[in-house]
Chains A and B, each alone.
Chain A
């Protein structure tokens, strides 16, 4: 197990007034469990505001959870820990961000970007060794030696994402949190980056936490799939199982909203989902999806369903269970 989360919750305070008193909370993430083991890709899918990015950032420890426990290789790292463990964590868990136009410092050359983690962790004794390693690394992501002295603005979106991947890869991490790594890219470039991520995963024997709004993409990448809505996990399990046999009404709605790619079988007009997700400041009581669900009954508005089912497919919905 690389990282495991237990009952992780994240609320962001809303402050107002002269003294910036907390007047409410954005409930970004409700009690969530997550285990990421070696060599495993976990996909997280959901629409904007569902808490998927928050989850990713908590796993990468960019955000501190409001409550709950994070274990890293058996050690509790929820709060600040010793310097050694902190360093080990950073070497083990890295992150790739969504927007390659904002995630690279415009004043750093590509060589600087890729070297920064290596220097911070004093990986190499000599400069020569480090430079050789950087050249090798940049080759692995499909760039060339002559790119190293250039600045981010000289690259296209796809190339920038390659640079971000090289940076994340530099310390040979065991887990990379990929937050929408391809959504800012063109379709043809998206496939190239997805392929690169897949090849690197096999070569480096890494795990990914792969976050995206694109269900097809998440299915393609992951071994295990998590469907989120308004800060809650609605359904999770083996990705083939969830994709082939979706149970939760929200997962089904999400699938039916994907265009067909076949002009003979237009399907969007058959979509039954209405309305928009409610605000995470004031989520509905009971099941958070109940305001838009076609199958809701009394219980859904009163009680909150828990994730139930077998290890390879669990769903939080009262339609199933007993």
Chain B
């Protein structure tokens, strides 16, 4: 059985500019001990999907279901949610500098997690946290424990966030662009560490990123999101070797290759549309190089092609109706 099952999830926000359909009918499953990458450009709904799983979106219209080990989490009260969040499902945020409270030492913030869920003494929680800091290779962990976020580098804070996320040995860690704010060499170090710990703790990971390079390094399966929908689902090998959706192809082609030097780069024309007014039909059609008439009129349905799924009229056999 799958660990987490998201079915037809819709998250809408009412704003002054109209209804923002940030996530609009997303379904996926997460299996035990796998890394699922959700890829897409900014504004496609990746982060909102993650926050919804953790019950962190406020004042939104949430429809559909999210089932974690048989429990429907969208129906949980805030109190019940607190027994899952941080303990069973935890999150690593994008901006390490902005995710810590500057007024408390990093140790205190870590201990908060341990004491909330474990019902242990302060001393015991402290030891547990220091142990964890050592696991994420923080040098001089005992001293660092009492320091404040501003005394640390971004790479170090991100490691501490990883330590915090894994502290309760959760089933699922959702990592939302965890290395985007870091330098490449630090990024590589943090990702390596993350991968090792994931193996050690047998954790499942939902990895949200816009960087396909990282996806190739980490993921088992990949879901490509565009404009609030998942347009393609496949294994990491299939995505990189035989991408089907024109958007996936576009993303892969936008990689800078050595051969391009002195030439113009291939690109996906246009930009992601505003979430208040997604285009009719297939949402990618205004940017799609292989747009057909049907794409402008009808939304493509998700179909199975060779065991993978894709939402694109190019792969539908004739008209389904």
User: Which residues of A does B touch, CB under 8 Å?
Assistant: 47-48, 156, 158, 186-192, 194-195, 198-199, 213-217, 219-220, 240, 243, 253-254, 256-264, 266-269, 271, 273-274, 276
| Extra pairs beyond A188-B41, A216-B256 (11, CB < 8 Å) | A187-B212, A187-B251, A191-B254, A191-B266, A199-B264, A219-B258, A220-B256, A240-B261, A253-B185, A258-B213, A260-B217
Q: Which A residues lie within 8 Å of B240 (CB)?
A: 261-263
Q: Which A residues lie within 8 Å of B183 (CB)?
A: 47-48, 213
Q: Which of A187, A220, A256 contacts B210 (CB 8 A)?
A: A187
Given contacts A188-B268, A259-B216, A266-B216, contact A276 B156 (CB under 8 A): yes
Given contacts A195-B267, A219-B258, A220-B260, contact A262 B186 (CB under 8 A): no
Residues in B239-273 with C-beta less than 8 Å from chain A: 240, 250-251, 254-256, 258, 260-261, 264-269, 271-272
Given contacts A187-B210, A254-B184, contact A263 B195 (CB under 8 A): no
Q: Which of A188, A271, A276 contacts B153 (CB 8 A)?
A: A276
Bound CA span A214–B186, Å: 14
Q: In the bound complex, do residue A188 and residue B256 qualify as a contact, i.e. CB atoms below 8 Å apart? A: no
Bound CA span A259–B260, Å: 18
Q: Which B residues lie within 8 Å of A266 (CB)?
A: 216-217
B interface residues, how many (CB within 8 angstroms): 42
Q: Which of A191, A220, A271 contacts B188 (CB 8 A)?
A: A271
Q: Which of A253, A263, A269 contacts B216 (CB 8 A)?
A: A263
Whether a CB of chain A sits under 8 angstroms from the CB of B63 is no
Chain A residue nearest in CB terms to B250: A188
Bound CA span A256–B214, Å: 13
Bound CA span A271–B193, Å: 12
Whether a CB of chain A sits under 8 angstroms from the CB of B71 is no
Q: In the bound complex, do residue B271 and residue A189 qualify as a contact, i.e. CB atoms below 8 Å apart? A: yes
Chain B residue nearest in CB terms to A199: B264
Bound CA span A254–B184, Å: 7
Bound CA span A268–B216, Å: 10
Q: In the bound complex, do residue A269 and residue B192 qualify as a contact, i.e. CB atoms below 8 Å apart? A: yes
Bound CA span A260–B272, Å: 26
Q: In the bound complex, do residue A47 and residue B184 qualify as a contact, i.e. CB atoms below 8 Å apart? A: yes
Q: Which B residues lie within 8 Å of A220 (CB)?
A: 256, 260-261, 265
Q: In the bound complex, do residue A261 and residue B268 qualify as a contact, i.e. CB atoms below 8 Å apart? A: no
Given contacts A186-B42, A253-B185, A269-B192, contact A262 B258 (CB under 8 A): no
Q: In the bound complex, do residue A188 and residue B254 qualify as a contact, i.e. CB atoms below 8 Å apart? A: yes
CB distance from B263 to the nearest CB of A (A): 9
Bound CA span A198–B264, Å: 8
Bound CA span A261–B217, Å: 7
Whether a CB of chain A sits under 8 angstroms from the CB of B299 is no
Bound CA span A275–B159, Å: 13
Q: Which B residues lie within 8 Å of A188 (CB)?
A: 41, 250-251, 254, 267-268, 271
Chain B residue nearest in CB terms to A46: B183
Q: In the bound complex, do residue B191 and residue A268 qualify as a contact, i.e. CB atoms below 8 Å apart? A: yes
Bound CA span A48–B182, Å: 9
Whether a CB of chain A sits under 8 angstroms from the CB of B95 is no
Bound CA span A258–B267, Å: 21
Bound CA span A213–B187, Å: 13
Whether a CB of chain A sits under 8 angstroms from the CB of B99 is no
**Which of B156, B250, B265 has the most A CB atoms < 10 Å from its CB?**
B265
Whether a CB of chain A sits under 8 angstroms from the CB of B135 is no
Q: In the bound complex, do residue A186 and residue B272 qualify as a contact, i.e. CB atoms below 8 Å apart? A: yes
Whether a CB of chain A sits under 8 angstroms from the CB of B33 is no
Q: Would you give the 0/1 interface string for B206-245, flagging 1 where the beta carbon is closer than 8 Å to chain A? A: 0000111110110100000000000000001100100000
Whether a CB of chain A sits under 8 angstroms from the CB of B31 is no
Q: Which A residues lie within 8 Å of B212 (CB)?
A: 187, 261
CB distance from A199 to the nearest CB of B (A): 8
Chain A residue nearest in CB terms to B287: A188
Q: Which of B192, B195, B267 contacts A192 (CB 8 A)?
A: B267
Q: Which A residues lie within 8 Å of B187 (CB)?
A: 257
Q: In the bound complex, do residue B189 and residue A158 qualify as a contact, i.e. CB atoms below 8 Å apart? A: no
Chain B residue nearest in CB terms to A239: B261
Q: Which of B188, B216, B265 contacts A194 (CB 8 A)?
A: B265
Q: Which B residues lie within 8 Å of A192 (CB)?
A: 267, 269
Whether a CB of chain A sits under 8 angstroms from the CB of B45 is no
Q: What are 18 inter-chain pairs, A to B, with CB distance below 8 A?
A: A48-B183, A187-B210, A188-B251, A191-B265, A191-B266, A195-B264, A195-B265, A198-B264, A220-B265, A243-B258, A257-B185, A259-B213, A260-B217, A261-B213, A263-B240, A268-B188, A271-B192, A273-B189
Whether a CB of chain A sits under 8 angstroms from the CB of B275 is no
Chain A residue nearest in CB terms to B44: A186
CB distance from B152 to the nearest CB of A (A): 10
Whether a CB of chain A sits under 8 angstroms from the CB of B155 is yes
**Which of A191, A262, A263 has the most B CB atoms < 10 Å from its CB?**
A263
**Which of B183, B211, B268, B272 has the most A CB atoms < 10 Å from its CB?**
B183
CB distance from A248 to the nearest CB of B (A): 14
Bound CA span A243–B156, Å: 30
Q: Which B residues lie within 8 Å of A260 (CB)?
A: 213, 216-217
Chain A residue nearest in CB terms to B156: A276
Q: Which A residues lie within 8 Å of B258 (CB)?
A: 216, 219, 243
Bound CA span A65–B217, Å: 42
Q: Which B residues lie within 8 Å of A156 (CB)?
A: 271
Given contacts A188-B251, A194-B265, A219-B258, contact A263 B236 (CB under 8 A): yes
